[in-house]
Amino acid sequence: GAVVSQHPSRVICKSGTSVKIECRSLDFQATTMFWYRQFPKQSLMLMATSNEGSKATYEQGVEKDKFLINHASLTLSTLTVTSAHPEDSSFYICSARATKTSTETQYFGPGTRLLVL
Amino acid sequence: DAKTTQPPSMDCAEGRAANLPCNHSTISGNEYVYWYRQIHSQGPQYIIHGLKNNETNEMASLIITEDRKSSTLILPHATLRDTAVYYCIVRWLASTPLVFGKGTRLSVIA
């Protein structure tokens, strides 16, 4: 099946610093990638949709200047949490859509756990 | 996208079939039914999807009622590793992202 990787799997940072999370589709090309966030005991919440070579589309309530998304190639998207604060601590999960299938199934990465101190 | 309703939790004995229901009474004709699961502290895992016909793969079977207003995911022989939150998602357009509800927490008991 399609494989999506994320790096790092876990990161701890100080308040005010920036953190970059990478998402890669390993065995397929993905023109569209998605970023989700999940707080403890809650479901996944869509943050933004990223299309290769164009600006990301953010969901309502998600600050685009705080969560910078870059999708420079068909296999790589990055999420940068700028000036991180403790309330940004969460589980961040990326997803890539396989474009060669008729129903365009989304495949998910293993997630990145961010802890801001 | 149509809304789905799932029971918050279910238990299943190890080795038995796990039948997870999903109600999607407002589904429209071109909406697919997708099932994903999330094991603790991992990303969601794709299980199966269908439009009208029943589907089966190496992981599970998907039974969709004739009126398409509900479906059932069947794990034929549940193991402890199947303990997870299972999400039933209905998606209208293939281009729209998956939106997750609360899902069903399945606990497989030895």
Q: Give the tens place of pLDDT for each residue, A26-70.
A: 988 888 999 999 999 999 999 999 988 888 999 999 999 999 999
Q: Does A92 touch chain B if contact means CB atoms closer than 8 Å?
A: no
Give the nearest partner residue to B46 out of A6, A46, A105, using CB atoms. Answer: A105
The percent of residues above 70 in pLDDT, for chain B, comes to 95
- Rounded CA separation A100/A115 (Å): 36
Whether A34 and chain B come into contact, CB under 8 Å, resolves to: yes
**Phi, psi angle pair for B72, to nearest 5°:** -135, 130
CA–CA distance, A77 with A62 (Å, rounded to integer): 17
- pLDDT exceeding 90 applies to what percent of chain B? 85
